[in-house]
Structure 1
Amino acid sequence: MAEIGFGEKIKGFLISPVETFQKVKDEDLGPVLKYYVILVVIFSILNAIIMGTMSSAMTSMMPMKMPLMGAAGGGLAAVTMFIGFLILLIVGLFIGAAIIHIFVILLGGKKGYTQTTKALAYGMTPQLLLGWIPFIGIIAGIWALIVEILGIRELQEMSTGKAVLAVILPGIIIGIIVGIAAAVYVYTSGTVSTP
């Protein structure tokens, strides 16, 4: 099957993800990673600009007026955010895919780790395109989660219910573990000091 173009993939994963996942089912991981990295770079740049601008604006509102510090702080924050998002999103794709793939296997998926990685990489399209926009990013994140579920369903040939569980359960389990760890920490840290 011929590789579909970059713009066609963006449009497809935003508007008709099921049909687009069917078109990329036999695609190698190379084009997937190229697509994903391009979107990650764009997202990281735009998000860094937004965060750097916000950081600069907040610094300039400090009681002690130091405009150069505000500009430098905003610029440094932007560069740090860019590098951080770039690394986090690229490494996070493979770690997230590995975690979700464990649940895919437990729930009967047999199409391999590559298909899970493809589902997550392409599923992030709405978030990577629109997630940097304040408030709209929340909607884009929800849409990305739905597209990821559809991707797991289509590429792993699972039922919708199993795909939902494969994507949602890891987050729930991690949330519970973090909640328990936080509760244990608060309980054992002795938040009340005695004289």
Structure 2
Amino acid sequence: MIQILIDDIRGVLLHPNKFFQNVRESGLPHAYRQYIVLLAFFSVIAGWIRMFDNDHAIREMLQIVPDYGPYIAEKICPIIAEFGVAIIIGTFLAGIYLVFIAGALIHPFILLVGGEQGFSQTMKVQMYAATPTLLFGWVPVMGIIGIVWSSIIMVVGLKECAGLSLIRSVLAVIVPIFLFASFFLIIIITIQSFTMFLNPIYWLT
């Protein structure tokens, strides 16, 4: 089982063309099992790092409090640790559902550009394509590289599994990313503008 997982990860990362050709006829459960294992890894590592950072920041902050600083830290830090566990569980549960939501959002674009396969193929490609993000997403700089890497693997996977040309695969990935990013940017700008409009200082300047 572990060796199969390692071989699949190596195939997705290093030889995506060949990998997706081999799994084109395979079912969704295998891809979902691999996704769940990597999601659990990502959730634990990301949650632990967040918990460690919060613990360290609180202890550093309380060092300026004479006498009672260490005592307060010993009382507060266990509570912070519980929040870390909650972050791990929350990240894992969110990942389980978000992958299906993302698949449902991107699949119509795949159909629009001529995708011939069903929703299960879209989900399978997306779960495998998440491998770099789940492996490296907890590293600040590597996290960005992981997202770009996942997008490239997604393009390759759609080309092999959804019956799309390379250009159509790129469009199926880039267009929804651009549209959803633009949508959220508009929402953020609208909220900021509305907040500024309600700020009394805005009317006094």
The TM-score with structure 1 as length reference comes to: 0.89
For 2:31, the equivalent position in structure 1 comes to: 32
Once the two structures are superposed, what CA deviation does each residue of 1:151-182 show, in whole Å capped at 9, x if it has no partner?
Answer: 11211121122112211222211222222223
Percent of aligned pairs with the same amino acid: 28
Could you say what secondary structure the match of 1:61 adopts? Answer: helix
Work out the CA distance in 1 between the residues paired with 2:19 and 2:96.
22
Question: Who is 1:149 aligned against?
Answer: 155
Equivalent positions of 1:118-129 (< 5 A) are: 118-129=124-135
Q: CA separation of 1:53/1:139 partners in 2, compared to 1, >3 Å: closer, same or farther? A: same
1:137 is aligned with what amino acid? Answer: G
The letter for the 2-side match of 1:147 is I
- Structure (1 or 2) with the greater helix fraction: 2
From 53, 71, 74, the counterpart of 1:68: 74
What is residue 86 of structure 2 aligned with on the other side? 80
Structure 1 counterpart of 2:116: 110
1:50 is aligned to 49
Whole-Å separation in 2 of the counterparts to 1:171 and 1:153: 18
Q: CA deviation at 1:76?
A: 2.1
Q: How has the CA–CA distance of structure 1 residues 133 and 188 changed in structure 2, closer, same or farther, with 3 Å as cutoff?
A: closer
For these two proteins, the number of residue pairs brought into alignment is 192
Could you say what secondary structure the match of 1:27 adopts? coil
Displacement of 1:102 in angstroms is 0.8
Offset at 1:186? Answer: 3.2
Contact 1:48 1:82 in 2 (8 A): yes
- Aligned equivalents of 2:75, 2:171: Cα separation in 1: 48
Determine if the alignment matches structure 1 residue 90 to structure 2 residue 89: no
Report the CA distance between 1:51 and its aligned residue: 1.2
Q: Which region of structure 1 is more displaced relative to structure 2, 120-129 or 185-194?
A: 185-194
Measured after TM superposition, the shift of residue 56 of structure 1 is: 1.0
1:42 Cα offset (Å): 1.2
Residue 191 of structure 1 and its aligned partner are, at CA, apart by 4.2
Which residue identity does 1:128 align to in structure 2?
A: L
Alignment of 1:175 onto 2:181 = yes
Distance 1:136 1:52 in 2: 20
Alpha-carbon separation, structure 2, partners of 1:184 and 1:162 = 33
Partner amino acid, structure 2, of 1:54: D
Instruction: Name 1:7's counterpart in structure 2.
Output: 6
Contact 1:109–1:158 under 8 Å retained in 2:
yes
Unaligned runs of 5+ in 1: none
Q: 2:190, 2:9 → 1: CA distance?
A: 44
C-alpha distance in structure 2 between counterparts of 1:133 and 1:187, whole Å: 33
